[in-house]
Amino acid sequence: QVQLVESGGGLVQAGGSLRLSCVASGRTFRTYGLGWFRQAPGKEREFVAAISWNGVPTYYADSVKGRFTISRDNTKNLLYLQMNSLQPEDTAVYYCAADTKRSWGSSEGSAYDYWGQGTQVTISS
């Protein structure tokens, strides 16, 4: 079992920054891939970023490439998402996810077997 808890969401103005965190407990954190997904109101969940067990490689959705950075600290069981140049279209609930079956991160939500409860990110124009 893996428990994931996100934090760091909030309300910021367009152009601002936020850093999301996700702390994991349970199975050995350093062995599996991790990802961030988001879901905006009325839309389907979408992939944001993924990271492999040792931090490389990383993958990003085209919509966030160059603005968001995913990273992990295996000594603290923490996953991060640094979000810069935020825009109103980034408004969503952001979820972290763990794929304990693989050591790399995937862009497919169906690959992940554990999910956090989500944290709200709201960007005002």
- Least confident window among 22-36, 49-63, 84-98: 22-36
Q: Is the pLDDT of residue 26 over 90?
A: no
pLDDT value at residue 85? 98
CB-based burial label for 70 (10 Å; 0-12, 13-18, 19+): buried
Answer for the pair 18, 80: CB distance below 8 angstroms, yes or no: no
Q: Is the pLDDT of residue 27 over 80?
A: no
pLDDT value at residue 71? 98
**Percent over 90 (pLDDT), the chain:** 95
